[in-house]
Structure 1
Amino acid sequence: MASWLPETLFEIVGQGPAPSKDYYQLLVTRFQVIFRWWKISLRSEYRSAKPGETKETHEDFLEKSHLQDSLLLNIISYLDLEDIARLSQTSRRFAKLCMSEELWEQIVRSSCDHITPDMRALAQDLGWRRMYFTNKLQLQRHLRKRKQRQGSQRKQSALDAHVPAAGK
């Protein structure tokens, strides 16, 4: 029976982060995951380097979870929210990845122009996923409350430092 899926399911090609000039390709086909790289360098020890390639079945690729999780999280971060929800229902592993703080931190960072230290601290309190789904007004309220709590804690600490201990 013919498959409704195309041969190539996913492909991304890009250049490594600066100062690297290396090129990479990740290709997911119906039957395997292919990773290719091309070393680009003016250094003499790399001039004779040939392009590299690894091919693995989907099962072999997914078994190397500790190496692949960061790559999978990066790919998942580009999906629509509906697709993330669907993907999380496919397996325990994808459910864990789709609920992970690392994924939601990547999503928040890609959707925000700038993350302030206060926002980062709030994300540590609330969680990146909850922060993503909280509207801006509620986030501002959370930030104000957090600053007020910190201010009152500092005042209390200052008072405690100046009040002599009872019974001395």
Structure 2
Amino acid sequence: MYKNLLFVVALAFISCNGVSQKKEMAQKANDQKKEFAVTKTEEEWRKELTEEEFYVLRKAATENPFTSELLENKEKGTYVCAGCGTPLFKSETKFKSGTGWPSFYQEIEGNVAYDVDYKIGYKRTEEHCATCGGHLGHVFEDGPKPTGLRHCINGIALDFVPESK
């Protein structure tokens, strides 16, 4: 009897399916190999980017939290890809998430692409630049209104272009 109960409990745990980001964002992601408008060799990227930018943008590393110079930036302007200059986020969509990385509730439509990432053992929605494929961070469904999204972005993957007066 106890063996049967133990078997049922074990089966229930094994069959549990995690729901982290299982909704809309992860479903938008596409597992196909993507082609990008800006394509360079690893050597070319290494020459153009700092070592930190290279590892985040090209090797999908994550910068340490609370280290980005852009974290507390409150100026009006546009956050662009540090690899290719594509506009990614507007300053008015930035918010303080408390996570240690610059966070935005909305991307500039068409300039951010998505993929599914299982690197830490469960499904997350990875974000990358739609022009060069540079790794930006991840998007989560725990952000503020109006979208309910939190684009958690490595500051080193971004450059800031102030609004011209």
Q: For the superposition of Structure 1 and Structure 2, which TM-score range results when normalised by the shorter chain?
A: under 0.3
What is the TM-score when the length of structure 1 is the normalising length? 0.21
Q: TM-score, normalised by structure 2?
A: 0.21
Return the structure number with greater helix share.
1
Q: Which structure carries more strand by proportion?
A: 2
Greater RCO structure (CA 8 Å; 6+ sep): 2
User: Computing the radius of gyration over CA atoms, which structure comes out larger, 1 or 2?
Assistant: 1
